Structure 1
Amino acid sequence: MIEERGRVIAVESGAVWVETLRRSTCSGCSANAGCGQGILARLGVGGRGGRVRALSSLKLAPGDEVVLGVGEGILVKSALLFYLLPLLGLFALALLAARFGVGESLIILAGLAGFLLAWLFVRRVARRHSDDPAMQPVVLRALVGGPLGPV
């Protein structure tokens, strides 16, 4: 289970909205000066937190600090689905168009069409599983002491 700390910002029946602090490892990277992520972090663009809805059976209130959990398998499958499948669609249709010997502009359009079709498929799958409790983060525990810091 992959864990992340956060702060409750809203409470619903059976779930809570949690804001997590995005952390970067830019201070330890040797390419910090020339990296776009490092520049954005220094400008304060990447410092805002991410908001996520998590299932919870605990009695929580806004401001409570919690630990969220997501299964490793679900995270890996989701990453492959969201990132790899659209790229595969792009390359598959572009290569198929190239195989038929069409012009470069049609190969580019075929690649974009493959990307779009794969993206639409990913979107459909994500909507179908959006209410599946097995696919959502859960609150593992509430933290009693120790401030999380500015979120």
Structure 2
Amino acid sequence: MGSISARRLAKEYKELNSDECPVGIKLLQADDFETWIIAIEVLGETLYKDEKFALKFRFDPQYPISSPAVQFVVDEKYQAPLHPHVYSNGHICASILGEGWSPVLSVPAVCVTLQSMLASCKKKERPEGNDRYVRFAPDNPKKTKFMYDDDTV
């Protein structure tokens, strides 16, 4: 991991373990600067009230110049939320995770943005073509070239 990347991730790790951490976000696992697991909860009266999700962040040595690979964890404990921009394998179609990424964004900022995306959801449903996408999707969501709508995060 490059020194810029390591310094940046150390700073973000510290924020996630402090009183500065946004409400509804909790770092679950960060054994290294390659993969982090973060719990997120959508607050308030939303379609996702009382539901908890986990996000997996994978960082490459070019972070924060390059975006992290971010997806919802899908395992025996967690499921991907039913949402028009979230595939059942946990991949997220959100521009900030792809072409809309900026190095000024941080792990907590991405979590807050995804909380907001879920909070504004009006109907729990999978994206069109979910089954086909999941069948052929790469392991790393960054290798998918999503087409973004104007209302996409």
Q: What TM-score comes out, normalization by structure 2 length? A: 0.30
Higher relative contact order (CA 8 A, sep 6+): 1
Q: What TM-score comes out, normalization by structure 1 length? A: 0.30
